[in-house]
Every structure is written in C-alpha cells, then in structure tokens.
Amino acid sequence: MADNVKVIALDDDYPTGDGNRVLCWLETPLNPTGESRDIQYYADKVHKVGGKILVDATFAPPPLQYPFKWGADVIMHSGSKYFGGHSDLLCGVLVVKTLPEWTVLWNDRTFTGSMLGSMESWLLLRSLRTLHLRVPRQSESATIIAQWLAKGGDGIPEGTISRVWHSSIQEKDPRGWLPTEQMEGGWNATFSIQLETAEQATFLPHSLKYFVPATSLGGVESLIEQRLVSDPGADPRVVRLSIGIENVEDLKDDLRRGLQVVANRPKGKL
C-alpha cells in the first residue's frame, strides 16, 4: 500500500480539506454473511467531504440491486461470480457513469496490460445472456432456504444451527434502515449460517449430495464451505452457502439430511 494512503473504518469520520481525496469502499451485501448496508447513507457521508463511493455489488448483481440509484459513483463486480455464472472464467468489472471516467479506466487498462482474454470475453457474453434467468431463480431459492433455516423445525435437528444471516431477515440498523427498497429485485443468493460447533461446520459440507464443498459462489451449482478453510480468521462455526438453480425442495432435503447426520455424529469423530 502507498505510504500516503490511510485506511480508516467505514463508520469513522471522513477527513476533509488539506487535499484529502476520500474513497469509501462499500461491500453490500457483505461477504460472507449476505447482510446489506445502506448505500445512500454512505454515499451522502462521503459526498459531503468531496469524496466518492465505490460499491462492491458482487453479491447482488442486476436485477437484484442498482447501486447508482442510491448514490454510488463506481460499481464493482467480481465477474467470475454471478456474471459468469458457470464457474469457468475469471474477470472483474468496474462500471462508471461518465465518459471521462471510462476513458481513465480504459487508459489504465491499456497501459497496465490487464486485458480480458478472448475466451473469457466469449464465456462472459454467453453467461450474460442468461443472467436475468439465473439470478432471480437463485435469489428466490436462497430466500426460501435462509428463512426456512432461520425458522427451524421441519426436520432441522435441534442443536445444529445457532444463527442465520441473510438480507431478507436482517434487523434494522441503528438508523432504522432495512434493505427492502435497495434490494428491489430480490434477495442475495449467497449467505451464511453458524452451527453450534466447529466440528459440525467441518463435517456438514461433506455430508451433502447436491451441494458441492468448494469456495467461490454465483454459479448454477450450489456450493457450501466452512469459511475457515479459505479465511483463517473466520469463526470456525460459520458455513457459507451459495445457492444455485437446482430444485429448491431438493436442496432443502439435502440440508435436512446433512444436518441430521451431523447432529447424530459422535463428538470428536470427523
């Protein structure tokens, strides 16, 4: 990191004057929990000091969320995820509002040589043609599953799930905000659960039939991972789920069976 770049917390006071150039980097919904943040609030906050806000909207691609409507200056997506949708390409996307901003990005890309390959470009174009079909289905299924897990019962064994995070069930923030309007096209298809023990979180991803135990997210296949595997600082009880386009009842049955296996497994035996 450059010596003249100072990183501060999102909710700290933003500096003003003295030539400060402030960039607010906001991820919403959040990885790995899938909870949302108020784009308009942070956009207003950084604009008051003459700064800009970049929104990482990877977890909520169109048509779920449109950050420009809420004050975003730049939108970022990991195109490998929902834009790609098939777990077979690597790319990143930056979206800006004006031609001068686009020109700056174009020149930077040209000079640094970070060009998207022709094969990846073709795969991305293929995938964008079905974005409006894939994402709403994934969103609907994920919302059903997250709310079902949060409610409990219906074959979900006691003593397994202690918490569920998802935008559709998050509580109001201290300012009374909820993401209902911001997530206008549906809720995020990736979210996390917390199991009662780390052993359960370790074993659950390998106790399922339809969910693939793997990192990444956004593809047509459902994925599950203990976050500790890819993030050494994560709570070992946290498991992230990326919901695909499979039949939602099949996915619920799979989780129900897997949780029952985990609940009945003797402690200390992995």
pLDDT band at 21 (very low <50, low <70, confident <90, very high): confident
What is the average per-residue pLDDT within 154-183? 96
Residue 136, both tokens = 């709403």
- Give burial (CB, 10 Å; 0-12/13-18/19+) of 46: buried
Domains of the chain plus CATH, in order, are 23-128 (3.40.640.10), 131-264 (3.90.1150.10)
Q: What is the pLDDT of residue 103?
A: 97
Find tokens 């409006």 and name the residue. 132
User: If you average pLDDT over every residue of the chain, what do you get?
Assistant: 95
DSSP string, 113-177: T-PPPHHHHHHHHHHHTTHHHHHHHHHHHHHHHHHHHHH-BTTB-TTTEEEEE-GGGPPP-TT--
The three-state secondary structure class of 246 is coil
**pLDDT (tens digit, 9 = 90+) per residue, 61-83?**
999 999 999 999 999 999 999 99
Q: Which of 187, 183, 238, 240 minimizes the C-alpha distance to 216?
A: 240
Over the Cα atoms of the chain, what is R_g?
Answer: 20
Q: Report strand pairing: 74-78 vs 190-195.
A: unpaired
**The model's pTM:** 0.93
Contact (Cβ atoms closer than 8 angstroms) between residue 241 and residue 222: yes
- pLDDT surpasses 90 at 3: no
For every residue of 24-92, which 3-state class applies, written as one string?
EEEECCCCCCCCCCCHHHHHHHHHCCCCEEEEECCCCCCCCCCHHHHCCCEEEEECCCCCCCCCCCCCE
Residue 216, both tokens = 């990444």
**pLDDT (tens digit, 9 = 90+) per residue, 82-117?**
999 999 999 999 999 999 999 999 999 889 888 899
What is the average per-residue pLDDT within 247-261? 98
pLDDT band at 2 (very low <50, low <70, confident <90, very high): low
Find tokens 């150039």 and name the residue. 21
Q: What is the pLDDT of residue 268?
A: 61
Q: What is the pLDDT of residue 189?
A: 99
Q: What is the pLDDT of residue 16?
A: 84
What is the average per-residue pLDDT within 229-245? 97
- What is the share, in percent, of the chain residues with pLDDT greater than 70? 97
- pLDDT surpasses 60 at 270: no
Of the ranges 7-11, 27-31, 74-78, which one carries the lowest mean pLDDT score? 7-11
Q: What is the pLDDT of residue 92?
A: 95
Q: What is the pLDDT of residue 5?
A: 84
Q: What is the pLDDT of residue 1?
A: 52
